[in-house]
């Protein structure tokens, strides 16, 4: 995650937390980001002409200490998850805004799901408390249903009642962000290295050419550095902050607008500093080629139950996103799926659910969390199918609930317990027994059917009855040489894991093969 870092303990220095604001439409995300930004522009700065570069930093105070927080200026979980789908996690903490006069709405739940899927701690901002009908207590009750239990009720989520419009309790909200960060995250990064970061926004500017806002994750970015981001490369000609001021170097968690790319990188592309321009170009070219190949390969890829199995084997967790035509079916499907009995070793997690078509945001969340999407009486919308093919995301459609359950159940069960079947290999009859002081009893045998193998499993059968179920052929010799296999019609000597043998006993040997699933 964002928290891990390169370098020894001494190299690591405290960095500001990076915050994304999410929540339902019209609950006040944009207003909150504006209020926080404005509250922080110093009085002297001529009305504070700020620039929207996609992120900004504010200074705040916690228990007498000056602290900085970085805000991503694109609200909403769509951008957040689209970046994650590209392999970039640029957020430490999510503020989830809920309007106190409206309550928890579908996109509030989505935002919670997306933040939880990314394992990002949440601070809840209960907004619009200036409005008539605002009921902050009701919001707390609703949020509890989604696992966000307020601290004051003994939980570990911080709730702050605010008014983004009136600028009420904004400092308290920032304080809650810092307290949450300090309590649950190791916010340290090594500034003494070449910079690594993530492009959070990029566009082509008429005057300046390609411009990208980069959030530094570790190291220090300097003017003059050779850089590569995705398949774009270049050299840092200029860096500008959110106030339009030139910056010579940018430390971890600092967002800066970078001028100097030869093409426009993508949002979510990771940025690297390299030794030379030439290297930057080579990496960019390679990535370009790789991307083309990957796209071609993904376009062909079809995902089967076996893929689902192997995903499970890797993670022992199956993440699901459920989309359905109405909330009743979605709930029924979720409940039924969560009711599937499975061993403790694997987990079934529904990371998001909703009514309506499968969207690009659903696909991005699936790509970011290795999830499978179940569509119940719905289809994919717009470019969602295309994106799913490109990202290798499995979307499964159903119109009958039990089919969905059967399929997920068989994937889970199959993954848990591979079914083995016994395959007969052969039989050997003990014709003589030799005692060896070194290896114990040696059975002199004649292979009468099939073959016997060293390390093979066998049953020992005497007069038609099984004497021992679980015998291993420990060594196998033919004439004077060790053998791995001896076929029927040949004599051999073997030692067995079972020593109480008699002449006339039959060694009935078999192999366990994993049974192919249907």
Query: What token pair was written down for 347?
Result: 């987990």
Query: Per the annotation, does 17 bind a ligand?
Result: no
Indicate which single residue of 16, 17, 27, 115 sits in contact with ligand GDP (rule: CB under 6 A). Answer: 27
Q: Can residue 136 be called a binding residue for ligand GDP (CB under 6 A)?
A: no
Residue 516 CB, shortest distance to ligand GDP, in Å, is 52
Q: Can residue 268 be called a binding residue for ligand GDP (CB under 6 A)?
A: no
Query: Per the annotation, does 326 bind a ligand?
Result: no
Closest CB to ligand GDP among residues 28, 191: 28
Indicate which single residue of 128, 188, 254, 287 sits in contact with ligand GDP (rule: CB under 6 A). Answer: 128
Of 22-30, 182-190, 283-291, 310-318, which part binds ligand GDP (CB under 6 A)? 22-30
> Which residues within the stretch 88-127 sit at the binding site for ligand GDP (CB under 6 A)?
127
- Write the DSSP string, 445-487: EEEEEEEEETT-EEEEEETTEEEEEEEEEEEEEETTEE-SEEE
Run of H or E residues at 418: none
Q: How far apart are CA 431 and CA 126, in angstroms?
A: 86
Indicate which single residue of 165, 349, 478, 487 sits in contact with ligand GDP (rule: CB under 6 A). Answer: 165
Query: Per the annotation, does 127 bind a ligand?
Result: yes
Q: How far apart are CA 82 and CA 213, in angstroms?
A: 16
- Encoded one letter per residue, x for contact with ligand GDP by CB under 6 A and - for no contact, window 33-72 reads ----------------------------------------
Residue 314 CB, shortest distance to ligand GDP, in Å, is 37
Q: How far apart are CA 137 and CA 160, in angstroms?
A: 11
DSSP type of residue 7: S
Of 25-33, 43-51, 290-298, 432-440, which part binds ligand GDP (CB under 6 A)? 25-33
DSSP type of residue 9: G
Strand pairing partners for 487?
451
Query: What token pair was written down for 214?
Result: 């980069």
Instruction: Give the C-alpha distances (Å, rounded to integers) separating 138 from 99, 144, 162.
Output: 11, 10, 15
Q: Can residue 30 be called a binding residue for ligand GDP (CB under 6 A)?
A: yes
User: CA nearest 409: which of 515, 303, 310, 318?
Assistant: 318
Of 149-157, 160-168, 389-397, 400-408, which part binds ligand GDP (CB under 6 A)? 160-168
Q: Can residue 28 be called a binding residue for ligand GDP (CB under 6 A)?
A: yes
Query: Per the annotation, does 28 bind a ligand?
Result: yes
Strand pairing partners for 67?
60
Q: Can residue 167 be called a binding residue for ligand GDP (CB under 6 A)?
A: no
Indicate which single residue of 70, 113, 157, 163 sits in contact with ligand GDP (rule: CB under 6 A). Answer: 163
Query: Per the annotation, does 92 bind a ligand?
Result: no
HEC string for 434-454 = EEECCCEEEEEEEEEEEEEEC
Indicate which single residue of 68, 103, 131, 281 sits in contact with ligand GDP (rule: CB under 6 A). Answer: 131
User: CA nearest 517: which of 312, 301, 297, 302?
Assistant: 312
Indicate which single residue of 164, 229, 240, 380 sits in contact with ligand GDP (rule: CB under 6 A). Answer: 164
- Return all residues near 369 (Cβ < 8 A) that are at least 6 apart: 84, 117, 118, 319, 351
CB 90 within 8 A of CB 116: no
Closest CB to ligand GDP among residues 63, 132: 132
Q: Can residue 74 be called a binding residue for ligand GDP (CB under 6 A)?
A: no
Indicate which single residue of 4, 26, 275, 500 sits in contact with ligand GDP (rule: CB under 6 A). Answer: 26
Closest CB to ligand GDP among residues 98, 216: 98
Closest CB to ligand GDP among residues 75, 210: 75
Q: How far apart are CA 186 and CA 12, in angstroms?
A: 10
For ligand GDP, the binding residues (CB under 6 A) are 23, 25-31, 75, 127-128, 130-131, 163-165
**Which residues fall in the annotated binding site?**
23-30, 73-77, 127-130
């Amino acid at each position: 995650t964002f928290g891990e870092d390169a370098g020894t303990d001494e190299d690591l220095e405290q960095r500001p937390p990076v915050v994304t604001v999410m929540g339902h439409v019209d609950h006040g995300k944009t207003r909150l980001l504006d209020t926080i930004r404005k509250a922080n522009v110093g009085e002297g700065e001529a009305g504070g002409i700020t620039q929207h570069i996609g992120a900004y930093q504010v200074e705040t105070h916690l228990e007498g200490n000056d602290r900085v927080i970085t805000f991503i200026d694109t609200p909403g979980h769509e951008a957040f998850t689209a970046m994650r789908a590209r392999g970039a996690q640029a957020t430490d903490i999510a503020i989830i805004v809920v309007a106190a006069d409206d309550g928890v709405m579908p996109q509030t739940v989505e935002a919670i799901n997306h933040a939880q899927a990314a394992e990002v701690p949440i601070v809840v901002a209960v907004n619009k408390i200036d409005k008539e009908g605002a009921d902050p207590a009701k919001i707390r009750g609703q949020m509890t249903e989604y696992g966000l239990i307020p601290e004051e009720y003994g939980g570990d989520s911080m709730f702050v009642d605010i008014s983004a419009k009136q600028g009420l309790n904004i400092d308290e909200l920032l304080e809650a962000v810092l307290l949450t960060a300090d309590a649950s995250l190791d916010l340290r990064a090594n500034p003494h290295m070449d910079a690594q970061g993530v492009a959070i926004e990029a566009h082509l500017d008429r005057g300046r050419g390609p411009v990208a806002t980069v959030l530094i994750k570790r190291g220090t970015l300097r003017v003059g550095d050779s850089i590569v981001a995705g398949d774009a490369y270049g050299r840092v000609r200029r860096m500008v902050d959110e106030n339009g001021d030139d910056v010579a170097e940018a430390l971890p968690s600092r967002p800066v607008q970078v001028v100097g790319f030869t093409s426009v990188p993508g949002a979510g592309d990771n940025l690297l500093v390299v030794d030379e321009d030439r290297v930057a170009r080579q990496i960019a070219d390679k990535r370009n080629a790789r991307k083309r190949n990957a796209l071609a390969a993904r376009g062909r890829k079809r995902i089967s139950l076996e893929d689902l199995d192997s995903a499970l084997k890797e993670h022992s967790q199956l993440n699901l996103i459920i989309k359905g035509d109405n909330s009743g079916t979605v709930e029924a499907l979720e409940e039924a799926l969560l009711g599937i009995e499975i061993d403790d070793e694997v987990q079934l997690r529904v990371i998001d659910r909703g009514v309506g078509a499968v969207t690009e945001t659903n696909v991005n969340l699936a790509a970011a969390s290795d999830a499978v999407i179940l569509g119940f009486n719905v289809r994919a919308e717009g470019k969602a199918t295309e994106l799913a093919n490109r990202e290798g995301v499995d979307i499964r459609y159903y119109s009958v609930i039990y089919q969905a359950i059967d399929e997920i159940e068989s994937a889970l069960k199959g993954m848990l317990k591979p079914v083995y079947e016994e395959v007969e290999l052969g039989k050997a009859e003990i014709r003589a027994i030799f005692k060896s002081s070194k290896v114990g009893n040696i059975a002199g045998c004649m292979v009468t059917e099939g073959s016997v193998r060293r390390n093979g499993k066998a049953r020992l059968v005497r007069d038609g009855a099984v004497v021992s179920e679980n015998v291993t052929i420990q060594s196998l010799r033919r004439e004077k040489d060790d053998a791995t296999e001896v076929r029927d019609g040949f004599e051999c000597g073997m030692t067995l894991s079972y020593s109480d043998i008699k002449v006339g006993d039959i060694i009935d040997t078999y192999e366990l093969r994993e049974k192919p699933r249907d």
